[in-house]
Amino acid sequence: MSESLALQGGIPIRQTEFPAWPVGDATEEAALVEVLRSGRWGSTHGDQVAQFEAEFAAAQQAEYGTCLANGTLALVAAYQAAGVRAGDEVVVPPYTFIATVSAALFLQAIPVFADVDPETHLLDPAAVEKVITPRTRAVVAVHIGGRPCDLDALTEVCTRNGVALVEDAAQAHGASWRGRRVGAIGDLGTFSFQSSKNLSAGEGGIILTNSAELNDAVYPLVNVGRTRDGAWYQHDHLGYNLRLTEFQGAILRAQLKRLPEQAKRRAENADRLTAGLGEFPDAIALAPEDPAVTEHARHLYLFRLRGATAAERDWFVSALQAEGVPCSPGYPGLHTNEAVRSRMTELLRAADRPEAAFDCPVTDQLAANTVWLPQNLLLGEESDTADILAAIAKVLRNR
Ligand SMILES: *Cc1c(COP(=O)(O)O)cnc(C)c1O
């Protein structure tokens, strides 16, 4: 039997859509109407955002949570609360969303790239160790795809060097490391509630911490410089207004109730995919299982095409998409981003400091051979996972 790829005019393996994202129903509708009718639309008057902050902090086993406009500004505020100032260095992985890095640049701090692990795509603690200097203020652990970084090793490096550990957990709602939920294992952790994320209100974010002091430092940044118990027009600090609306708070509370069931489904389907992809050991490489990763949030399902060039990977992604499976080549590596590089160069020159190094060979390799499947593909039935595997098998047979 001859089969031709959908890319070449053949019949796609998958002819129907995968589960839609985000999902909401009469529960969210009722919650929105209730806020509307209450007349308390802002979090300065209502309690939806405050309730959600407490509920999400509890879900992530953190003492404190402060909601704010989005994950990007959550990073800016977290870095600032951690003491990052102009000229300081913030150690970041190059394999991440741009906000991890641009948030440092907004504060006129210098991002310093530490390369990632070749199998997990996550910040490599040994690489972090090598780039820490007396100017380093913070290290940012980005839990890419929802898999926690090695928080034991990163905590150790940060504690020994007296620098803050910030978790960028924008992709890691519900993830845990050695049985402890992420977000407040480091000094501060940030999450995003943007449309694509595993918990969403369209937009939004939160900062978690176990430190009352850091939590107090976040408050004025979100609330125009106010202090928690100060008078309305008492602004002891300079701060932005980053507050969420009560509409977002109400949606997030309803969505949070759905998260455990969705997380279970994603985990089950991810395990099925992992078992199925194990049939192609010569073509496909997966991150090794790690017993310390007790919950993987499965925001993205990542795999690598062994030995593939970027062109071969891009062809594979087009072919798989044509078979009806949404997928992406993922991040290009921020050390290659011109906007990032030129701002870094500008800041370093102005301070009369040596040029930055943009040498991240592991990220270069991963940026060329990685494929991402988005989390909504994992929200369906066993038959959906079977279709994904059949489509991957077909594309591999016809490479
Ligand atoms: C989504 C994301 C952000 C930014 O969050 P927004 O809410 O979109 O601003 C930051 N870091 C990572 C790793 C992300 O995936």
Mean pLDDT of 192-205: 98
Which of 149, 171, 252 has most ligand 1 atoms within 8 Å of CB, for mutation? Answer: 171
Q: What is the mean pLDDT of residues 28-40?
A: 98
2 pLDDT higher than 70? no
- Centroid of ligand 1 to alpha carbon of 170 (angstroms): 5
Q: Is the pLDDT of residue 1 over 70?
A: no
In the chain, where does DSSP find H-type helix? 26-38, 48-59, 71-81, 98-106, 125-131, 151-161, 212-222, 246-277, 310-322, 338-350, 361-369, 382-397
Which of 301, 290, 293, 294 minimizes the C-alpha distance to 266? 301
pLDDT in tens, 109-168: 999 999 999 999 999 999 999 999 999 999 999 999 999 999 999 999 999 999 999 999
Mutate to test the pocket of ligand 1, among 192, 193, 207, 298 (most ligand atoms within 8 A of CB): 192
142 within ligand 1 shell (Cβ under 6 A): yes
Between the CA of 200 and the centroid of ligand 1 the distance, in Å, is 12
**AA letter at 164:** A
CATH among 3.40.640.10, 3.40.630.10, 2.40.30.70, 3.40.50.970 for 26-255:
3.40.640.10
Ligand 1 atom 2: residue of nearest CA:
170
Q: How far is CA 393 from the centre of its chain?
A: 29
pLDDT of 222 reads 98
Nearest to 239 by CA among 249, 247, 228, 251: 228
Q: Where are the domains of the chain?
A: 26-255
CA of 194, closest atom in ligand 1? 7
What pLDDT shows up at residue 259? 98
Kindly state the average pLDDT of the residues 278-287: 98
Model confidence at 215, in pLDDT bands (50, 70, 90)? very high
Element (H, E) at 294: strand 293-295
CA 38-39-45 angle, 5° bins: 95
Ligand 1 binding pocket includes 102 (Cβ within 6 Å): no
This prediction's pTM? 0.98
Strand partners, 285: 304
For 287, residues 6+ apart whose C-beta sits below 8 A from its C-beta are 119, 120, 121, 147, 302
- pLDDT of 239 strictly over 80: yes
Interval 67-103: pLDDT, tens? 999 999 999 999 999 999 999 999 999 999 999 999 9
Query: Is the separation of the CB atoms in 85 and 109 below 8 Å?
Result: yes
**Residue 357 — pLDDT band, cuts 50, 70, 90?**
confident
Nearest-Å Rg of the Cα atoms of the chain is 22
Distances (CA, A) of 111 to 92, 121, 334, 356, 398: 6, 18, 10, 9, 42
Residue 73 CA, closest ligand 1 atom number: 9
Cα distance between residue 43 and residue 332, in whole Å: 38
> Which protein residue has the closest C-alpha to ligand 1 atom 5?
71
User: Which atom, in ligand 1's list, is nearest to the CA of 70?
Assistant: 7
Rounded average pLDDT over 214-222: 98
Mean pLDDT of the chain: 97
Angle between helix 26-38 and 246-277 (nearest 10): 160
Ligand 1 atom having least distance to the Cα of 171: 15
> 58 C-alpha to center of ligand 1: Å?
22
SS3 254: helix
Q: State mean pLDDT over 335-354.
A: 97
> What is the CA(297)–ligand 1 centre distance, in A?
15
- Predicted local distance difference test score (pLDDT) of residue 56: 99
CA of 394 to the centre of ligand 1 (A): 33
On the question of pLDDT at 5 being above 90, the answer is: yes
Alpha carbon distance 213, 81 (integer Å): 9
